[in-house]
Chains A and B, each alone.
Chain A
């Protein structure tokens, strides 16, 4: 089966100038990422802030050109697709329902935008499709006539989802879609996304820094660290048997609502990763609680097996 999304050795380097005369620094935001997402499944992407999740998402959406590597969506090269065709296939839902919606437009016009941008669709069809999309996400026609400022955070995220669905795409890239919401509202949105995926046969790339959320929605999980995927496993396996020390530390730091367990010492120290200064050898070694001889000098190679992928010398 053709993967819904496939990326091959994808990289993105930002050249950042700090001052007029300072030499530019190279920020290796995404540094050689490959994976394939089968249609109908959900790939969760987790990792600390700054590890390159949003940069990866923007490249897959065609919003940011890669420095090198390739993105294929439904078997077609993204770079050879025109914007309208791309929009019919793949759509985003971003974190912030406050800034991603134009405050001066009514909800129904915001949702209609992707359709109108296609150019050749008559007004009656637009109106019908917008009404359908609003209904799908649980918004009333009356709410369609309001402005974003007149809606709650959860309702605004529903508007963003309706806008993503109005072209009936097959793939939705969700970048922290519930991170700005209360747990009560987050639960509503997660339930909605899952229902939509099942009813419409959607494929999701689901980015979140909340591992419990990812565990709930993803069929497979990729763990990113400083621009690379250091572990990828089927969701259940990853949560029961994390293999990379970084994955283990991330999981240990999830505070489940179980009293009496205290706050664990995740053992990562206080060195923060910096994509402008990627350590030699294994990029995780300065923080790794299980660092040993080869880690500081040799880059680990990804070990791939039926169980998934791990990039760690312990797997040698």
Chain B
């Protein structure tokens, strides 16, 4: 399987903060790869760096950044903006990040297709209506004429997904797309994404902090901590055989009906994600890790824990 997206040794710094510190990951065509971790771990910065959308002051380096075989690390802003919204698209937690309150849903959706594909207005309107239907919006004609603030949160998120699909992208990067939604609406949106992926062969990089979401829709999971991918594995393997103490800690924190008796304490991870200065050595999790020992301040090996299962840790943890 050749990767649709391949990121090798991605590094991002903002002045004195190393936000991403050598992250590697790959997304195959038709695959959902989830990036999970606590807030501040560098998930959003990773996705923005891939899309060439880093905020001012962010510096990016990578030994490879390939999209569909094309090295995109060296593209200039004009070349990147030609790819964005066309062959690679992104959706955010807050739909208003991508929706302009001053324009109707219809004019924003059609603009994408007319800009990238030179479609006529009529063609673009047809396509927009078709996609609104595809994402489960009834009465698409009515919605096209409405402004974003006239829609509920769930509808806005659907509109944003439809807009991201206007040009038939090959890769969709979704940053916490359901975090602000009710669980009922979240289930609908995730089913929608899974269906679209199946039908269109989309590759999806989905960022979330919710391990429930990960378990239900990911093919592969990468756990991020303080700017590094500390564990990566196929989904069933990651949940069935987590190796990194951070992954295990995260899993123990999630309340699961029927798993922990009421009144018994949930597992928890003491402390918070640290801010990492450039030049930091060793394991960034060591101050919060119950297994930390002397070697954790030195270079940390990336170990193979099984087929497609990598762990960044000094311990050879038993299953």
Contacts and interface: CB of A to CB of B under 8 A. Distances in A.
Interface in A249-268: 249-250, 252-266, 268
Contact of B188 (A183, A255, A270): A270
B266 interface: yes
B216 interface: yes
A257 B183 contact: no
B214 interface: yes
Nearest to B137: A270
B25 interface: no
Interface residues of A, number: 46
A109 to B, nearest CB: 24
Contacts, number: 139
A225 to B, nearest CB: 11
Interface stretch (A99-107, A126-134, A212-220): A212-220
Contact of B184 (A188, A239, A253): A253
B72 interface: no
Central interface residue in B38, B183, B191, by most chain A CB within 10 Å = B183
A125 interface: no
Contacts of B138: 270
Interface string A109-143: 00000000000000000000000000000000000
A211 B239 contact: no
A16 B237 CA distance: 52
Contact of A184 (B136, B184, B187, B268): B268
A48 B186 CA distance: 11
Contacts of B250: 183-184
A236 to B, nearest CB: 8
Contacts of B209: 182-183
Contacts of B269: 184, 187
A186 interface: yes
Chain B interface residue number, banded: 35 or more
B267 interface: yes
Given A48-B182, A49-B182, A258 B215 contact: yes
Interface stretch (B80-88, B163-171, B255-263): B255-263
B183 A256 contact: no
Interface in B208-261: 209-218, 235-236, 239-240, 249-258, 260
19 contacts: A49-B182, A182-B38, A183-B210, A185-B268, A187-B255, A191-B266, A194-B263, A210-B183, A210-B255, A211-B257, A255-B210, A256-B257, A257-B214, A257-B239, A259-B240, A261-B215, A262-B194, A263-B190, A270-B137
Given A190-B266, A219-B262, A255-B183, 16 more contacts: A48-B184, A183-B210, A183-B250, A184-B249, A184-B253, A187-B267, A191-B268, A216-B255, A216-B262, A249-B184, A252-B187, A257-B214, A259-B215, A261-B215, A262-B216, A263-B217
Interface of B: 38-39, 136-138, 152-155, 182-188, 190-191, 194, 209-218, 235-236, 239-240, 249-258, 260, 262-263, 265-270, 272
Interface of A: 48-49, 152, 154, 182-188, 190-191, 194, 209-213, 215-219, 235, 239, 249-250, 252-266, 268, 270, 272
Among all A-B residue pairs, the 10 with the closest Cβ atoms: A255-B212, A187-B268, A187-B253, A187-B266, A216-B255, A184-B269, A253-B187, A257-B215, A48-B182, A257-B211
